[in-house]
Amino acid sequence: MTSRFRLSVERAPGSLERVLAVARRRRLGLESVSVTAADADRWDVAIVAGVPSGEGPLALRNFAALVNVRQAALEDIREG
Amino acid sequence: MHSAAKAAPATAMPAAADAAPATVRGADALCHALVRAGVDVIFGYPGGASLPIYDALPDHPALRHILVRHEQGAAHMADGYARVRRRPGVCMATSGPGATNLVTGLASAYMDSIPMVAITGQVSTALMGRDAFQETDVLGMVAPVTKHAFLVERPEDIEPIVARAFALARSGRPGPVLIDIPKDILNARVASAGQALAAAPFVVRDALDERELGRAVALLAGAERPLIIAGHGVRLARAHSALRRLAERLDAPVAHTLLGLGAIDEGDALSVGMLGMHGSTGTNASVNAADVILGVGLRFDDRVTGKIAAFAPGAKIIHIDLDPCQIGKNVPTAVGIVGDAGAALDAIAERVPAGSRPAWRAAVAGWTGRSRPKLDESDARMELAPRAVIRAIRDAARADAYFCVDVGQHQMWAAQWLRLRTNDRFLTSAGLGAMGYALPAALGAQVADPDADVWAIVGDGCAQMTIQELGTAVQERLPVKMVILNNGYLGMVRQWQQLFYDGRISQTPIASPDYVKLADAYGAKGYCVERRTQLGPMLAAAARETGPVIVDVRIESHANVWPIVPPGGANADAMDDPAA
């Protein structure tokens, strides 16, 4: 399954590193990561990744648990 | 689309003014904030980047500083302190190697859900990113092993960040938080220091899901063979009574994980002991025969489940955990309840009908209550059998003693044979399995409860990883009893080489120093036990010592831990003691 995670992340030291640490721990096969400035305080992060079965909701919960992540959403893009 | 939004984290709220000066150095602001957070002890080691803090410390006598011999020891001491005092432990290191030396202790605390706040000095902001002397990117380094790590960028942020760090460390599933403070921030003047800061807890789900509760109650009410597995979460939530009430209401046996040891009195009729890789075969058989398993405050890790496909194959699993990330992570769950263990257990107990399951209880008693006369015969053939040594330690210690246990064979022997009657007296690095944990953790426990009877049970490999903290014990007059189960091997690794690597013994024989002379050199007392007849008297003498003491016990060198589940195997495939 290829999925897209959309995160709203505070612009704080280490916050992007923490997001990427979750991606690594949940064994997401990264296809792309994009970061854009939403405003002076937040980044919008989009991660497109191959997600092993059952890992998507866990990764979403892990992202949402990060202190600097304000919102997290997951959508499935394509099967296989 | 799935989504997970959350409320903004609580920000530090001004609560009341105090007597602190209007402007202070950043280092003093840090000390004020620590005192207001309730800190009374810091385990630390000074260095260049943290010099301003150490210059400020003498002006803050409410903060007792324990000078460790290595920063790993500081982190493990903060861990032991936190487990006993039930509040965040604090450790401190300088930048670079000081910070990197903390990482093992942070990782251990993270795995075992121990609240901790680590403070690291950092090079000045003008030098950051320039590979300055003793500069490391500690935030990047600790990201996977902390709940969060803060870099303080402005001196006025010190106090609010300290308040947030403590709130975060103890909120929800507890864990370590790191605060990295550049030296120039510590030296800068803070214009608005002096306000007490009360950070509200971070977002924690406090209402239990009624639908999930209802499904759990229905499953348990209809169960013929229910079994509860108690993990560390029961102890962290202080849910011992709630656990016992529900188990009694269901007439369900209670197994425990390594850190669940102490969740239920091991002499209780409902307690069936530890499950998993080194759990008793009877306990694992009971788990595998259950039709409904209620797991409370555990993550069902590989040491608990063995081969997951063969774990409790006929059981539906109800999983209670404060951390939603744990539900469904390792085992398929029929019902997941996110919330405090005590609240969830009470809620189920209020709703589930009382049941009596004599046939099930009799079957479990048949599996778990088998007498093992050949074990006694096997012990009798050894001069110093590990099981006899563990029992002798228990007999020499006070009934309410703390046992800080290291990692390896002795850890499993202690878990199997201490048979603790008092709750929450077993401290070990369970998740990370960090060798060298026990002695510093015991020192932290002793600092947290100066009148307590504190024993460190270690192997000869573990002892040599953090033995230097004996210097801390002597300097601080901490009367910890360190018992070394000395078999001349890295025993657990050797056991695996014997059993699973065709007996090729590779780099596991390990020499030790003369621990009696070593203790003497440090200014501590030392005993060496080589005969069975010496064991009881020397442990009793150690128990009477008023300062730190080492007891070097020369146990049977080739004794192994039984049962053992082979790697990748199912719990049902456990190999038992060939002598039993």
DSSP state letters, B27-79? HHHHHHHHHHTT--EEEE---GGGHHHHHHGGG-TTSEEEE-SSHHHHHHHHH
Q: Does B204 touch chain A (CB under 8 A)?
A: no
ipTM exceeding 0.95, yes/no: no
CB B190 within 8 A of CB B29: yes
Say how far apart CA A18 and CA B200 lie, in whole Å. 23
3-state secondary structure of B578: coil
Q: What are phi and psi of A9, to 5 degrees?
A: -120, 135
The residue count of chain A comes to 80
Helix B210-221 and helix B341-351, axial crossing angle in degrees, nearest 10: 60
Q: Exposure pattern of B424-455 as b/e (b: 16+ CB <10 Å)?
A: bbbbbbbbbbbbbbbbbbbbbbbbbeeebbbb
Helix B373-380 and helix B386-396, axial crossing angle in degrees, nearest 10: 90
Q: Give the residue-averaged pLDDT of B449-465.
A: 98
Q: How far is CA B283 from CA B170, B270, B335, B392, B563, in A?
A: 33, 12, 23, 25, 11
pLDDT at position B558 over 50: yes
Q: What is the DSSP letter of B202?
A: P
Residue B183 appears among annotated catalytic residues: yes
Chain A contact set for B143 (CB, 8 A) = 14, 17-18, 21
Q: Binning pLDDT at 50, 70 and 90, where does residue B3 land? A: low
Q: Does B8 touch chain A (CB under 8 A)?
A: yes
pLDDT at position B100 over 70: yes
Reduced 3-state DSSP string for B306-362: ECHHHCCCCCEEEEEECCHHHCCCCCCCCEEEECCHHHHHHHHHHHCCCCCCHHHHH
Point out the least confidently predicted range of B155-164, B269-278, B367-376, B563-572.
Answer: B367-376
- Contact flag A13-B151 (C-beta cutoff 8 Å): yes
Question: Residue B144's closest chain A neighbor by CA?
Answer: A21
Q: Binning pLDDT at 50, 70 and 90, where does residue B194 land? A: low
Write the pLDDT tens digit of every residue in B373-394. 778 888 899 999 999 999 999 9
Q: Does A56 touch chain B (CB under 8 A)?
A: yes
Percent residues over pLDDT 70 in chain B: 94
Residue B481 appears among annotated catalytic residues: no
Say how far apart CA B403 and CA B130 lie, in whole Å. 45
Q: Does A77 touch chain B (CB under 8 A)?
A: no
pLDDT for residue B205: 60
Q: Give the residue-averaged pLDDT of B460-487.
A: 98
Handedness of CA B273, B274, B278, B280 (dihedral sign): positive
Q: Does A29 touch chain B (CB under 8 A)?
A: no
CB B526 within 8 A of CB B516: yes
Exactly one of B13, B133, B153, B517 is catalytic; name it.
Answer: B133
Percent residues over pLDDT 90 in chain B: 87
Question: Residue A22's closest chain B neighbor by CA?
Answer: B144
**Top-confidence residue, B397 or B16:** B397
Helices assigned H by DSSP within B352-490: 358-368, 373-380, 386-396, 409-417, 438-448, 460-466, 469-476
Reduced 3-state DSSP string for A35-77: EEECCCCEEEEEEEEECCCCHHHHHHHHHHHCCCEEEEEEEEE
pLDDT for residue B370: 75
Q: Which residues contact B256 (CB under 8 A, 6 or more apart)?
A: B229, B230, B231, B262, B263, B264, B271, B273, B274, B275
Q: How far is CA B430 from the centre of its chain?
A: 6
Q: Binning pLDDT at 50, 70 and 90, where does residue B569 land? A: very high
Distance from CA of A75 to the nearest CA of B (A): 5
